[in-house]
Amino acid sequence: MTRVKVGVLALQGDVREHVRALAEAGAEGVAVRRPEELAAVHALVIPGGESTTMWKLATAFDLLEPLRLRIKEGLPAYGSCAGMIMLADRIEGGVEGQETLGGIDMVVRRNAFGRQVDSFEADLDFAGRPVRAVFIRAPWVESVGHDVEVLARAGDRIVAVRQGPLLATSFHPELTGDARVHSYFVEMVREL
- Indicate the residue among 18 and 137 with the shorter CB distance to ligand GLN: 137
The reply on whether position 102 binds ligand GLN by CB under 6 A is no
CB of 85 to ligand GLN, least distance (A): 5
Question: Smallest distance, Å, CB 138 to ligand GLN?
Answer: 6
Per-residue string for binding with ligand GLN, 25-44, x by CB under 6 A? --------------------
- Is residue 97 within 8 A of residue 64, CB to CB? The reply is no
- Strand (E) or helix (H) holding 168: strand 166-169
- Binding ligand GLN (rule: CB under 6 A), the pick from 9, 22, 57, 82 is 82
Angle, alpha carbons 11-77-118 (nearest 5°): 65
Q: How far is the CB of 173 from ligand GLN (least distance, A)?
A: 12
Q: Are 63 and 11 in contact (CB under 8 A)?
A: yes
Query: Minimal CA–CA distance to 48: which of 138, 141, 109?
Result: 138
Nearest distance from C-beta of residue 97 to ligand GLN, angstroms: 14
Query: Which stretch, 56-64, 79-87, 122-130, 150-158, contacts ligand GLN (CB under 6 A)?
Result: 79-87
Could you say which residues in the range 129-148 bind ligand GLN, by CB under 6 A?
136-137
Count of residues that bind ligand GLN according to CB under 6 A = 11
Neighbours of 114 (CB within 10 A): 12
Residue partners of 52: CB distance under 8 A and separation at least 6:
94, 95, 98
| Residues recognised as catalytic | 81, 172, 174
> Helix 64-72 to helix 51-60 angle, to the nearest 10 degrees?
100
Task: Say how far apart CA 63 and CA 176 lie, in whole Å.
Answer: 29
Q: Which of 7, 10, 22, 49 binds ligand GLN (CB under 6 A)?
A: 49
How far apart, in Å, are the Cα atoms of 16 and each of 23, 39, 47, 143, 168? 11, 20, 10, 31, 18
Q: Which of residues 103-122 bind ligand GLN (CB under 6 A)?
A: 110-111
Kindly identify the residues of this chain, within the stretch 151-190, that bind ligand GLN according to CB under 6 A.
none
Binding region for ligand GLN (CB under 6 A):
48-51, 81-82, 85, 110-111, 136-137
